[in-house]
Chains A and B, each alone.
Chain A
Amino acid sequence: MIRYLAKRAAWSLLILLGVSAITFAVNFVIPSDPVALIAARSATKADRDRLRHELWLDRPVIVQYGHYMAGVLQGDLGRSYKRKTQVAEQVAARLPATLILMAAAISFELLIGLPAGLFAARRRGSSADKTAMTLSFIGVSAPQFVTGLILFYVFAYWLNLLPTGGFGGVSHVILPAVTLGIAGGGWYSRMMRSSMVDVLRQDYIRTARAKGLDERSVVLVHAFRNAVLPIVAMIGLDVGIFMSGVVVVEQVYGWPGIGQLMWQAIQDRDIPIIMGVTLTAAIFIVLGNLLADVIAPLIDPRIRLR
């Protein structure tokens, strides 16, 4: 178990190293002249040269990367081009709001996705199954900015039931979390259904039924525990999809998280912020995957053997 976890953790670190190499490349190598992006139009040649030196851009790429990594390890993600503030400070200030939203959205998608998948698998082939799966496809096919704007229009503006945006009590988190959760709920219901269909075919389910157990405990106790396993592994991937969705949804509802920071940075073409948020998001994705790796063997001891 310890070996397994150590291996997974080492692998996560390696992935993060790779990710940082890519964010570094996007920051400093791909733009033909980063200084041109940063310097004011009125800057003289001497100004530009000084800036180039300050950013270490006059040194070999490998030295630049070393400098960048040393910074990242100390929590330094560089300075924003536009606001001249530390990227790391901005990200840290906005991260809690995003994490609250993430917790609410993931709870919501599991709350609608798992029961819907369970229900569809039990009634496989029926018209209820067909309807549930078509609905889940609509959820998956709707871009979050469309869902977001429409929910906003109906519930916040037209019916005036929920706040139009911003940060505050529980009522503020409902619309953004539902918007993010609709697509995810669609995925979970499809995954849950196919996983459940597989499990319900197994011999031990037939045995459980043959013993005379009532259908409720066969489905909820025997089948569900095994069927939910692949779903746990998906939560890691889900963090990635979530981190992309948050940019759009936070903007729609004015939620003050890293997504909104990203949105503003995109409009300003403020590359250090964009890459800082991307790196932060990648860290969460890697952590999400690691967490799934840790939880999976706790639910299913067979995994430890691998």
Chain B
Amino acid sequence: MATSWTRFRRDKTALAGLTVIALIVTAAALAPWLAPFDPSFQSADGLTEDGSPVPPNSEFWLGTDLLGRDLLSRMIFGARNSLIIGLVANGAAVLIGTSLGVVAGYLGGYVGAALMRFTDLVMAFPALLLAVALAAILGSSLWIVAAVIAMVNWVQIARVIYTETTALSSRDYIEAARALGAGTPRILLQHLIPHLLPTVLVYGTLGIATTVLLEAALSYLGVGVQPPDPSWGGIIFESQSYFLNAPWLVFFPGVAIVLVALSFNLVGDALRDALDPTQRGRT
């Protein structure tokens, strides 16, 4: 682990990504103290005389939205929703995908084949469309959005873990453990899963990027986090009809989404290099 960290540290872009993540997590956690305004407060000077949003100035650093609310404050509170969904939905997806992949890979045979064919089926679905349909029917609360994202996002990690488990299961040390009388749960928990953890960590990190992007897209389509709760995709959804006059309402939340997704992608990619040096520079 120590050498992995040394290798990770050498990657400057990944360190930058880690810094961005740390900053945004801190901002989200301290939102009530950091945000200059309440996110739903409609300030008296938040709209110009003809009722349009105010561009960035010394009072509203990132300008205001169509209802005269401070954009910076809404974005800081919106970071909470994006990150909570990112962590919960991705955590659930990693859990489902890993368990399914390990079970299918270790058991093999008909059960394994059936489970993997099921992942093929889910793969054939356009993830966003399926998520949209589910969210449209089930209604959109924070938790439903998270559940919907988890339901469509476990597939990739399941496949990766399946491939790795199949390779590991045929190793001699697993055979030896079995010969010594270890049962299936013991083999899975003690001999397989610890070796899979680096992969889980890498795909778990990359998955947060995918999840944040999916959440933003759902909110942009109007089936994600519902107003008045702020979310980055939702702010863009609300403001797009006005965006030629108030481009900051699209630009700032857009940059925030890109930065977060990019940071998690960079960190995940660097983790892959750091944890598995043989893969270095390949992907």
Contact = CB atoms under 8 A, between A and B. Distances in A.
Interface of A: 15-16, 18-19, 22, 26, 30-31, 124-125, 130, 134, 137-138, 140-146, 149-150, 153, 157, 190, 193-194, 197-198, 237, 240-241, 243-245, 247-248, 262-263, 266-267, 269, 271, 274-275, 277-278, 281-282, 285-286, 289
Nearest to A275: B133
A277 B240 CA distance: 24
Contacts of B23: none
B283 A194 contact: yes
Interface of B: 13, 120-121, 123-130, 132-134, 136-138, 209, 213, 216-217, 220-223, 233, 236, 240, 243-244, 247, 250-251, 254, 257-258, 261-262, 265-266, 269, 281-283
Contact of A243 (B126, B133, B223, B244): B126
B247 A153 contact: yes
B252 to A, nearest CB: 11
B125 A141 contact: no
A22 B121 CA distance: 10
Contacts of A243: 126, 129
Contacts of B136: 266, 269, 271, 274
B133 A278 contact: yes
Contacts of A197: 281-282
Given A240-B126, A278-B133, A190 B262 contact: no
Q: Which of A149, A245, A278 is the most central at the interface, judged by chain B CB atoms within 10 Å of its CB?
A: A149
Contact of A244 (B126, B138, B244): B126
Given A247-B221, A263-B221, A141 B261 contact: yes
18 contacts: A22-B130, A26-B137, A124-B281, A125-B281, A130-B13, A134-B266, A140-B265, A143-B261, A145-B216, A146-B254, A149-B254, A150-B251, A157-B244, A241-B126, A243-B129, A271-B137, A274-B132, A275-B133
Given A145-B236, A282-B126, A15 B120 contact: yes
B139 to A, nearest CB: 10
A248 B220 contact: yes
B132 A137 contact: no
Given A143-B258, A241-B126, 20 more contacts: A19-B125, A22-B121, A26-B134, A138-B262, A141-B213, A145-B217, A146-B250, A150-B250, A150-B251, A153-B244, A190-B283, A237-B123, A240-B125, A243-B129, A244-B128, A263-B221, A266-B132, A271-B133, A278-B130, A282-B125
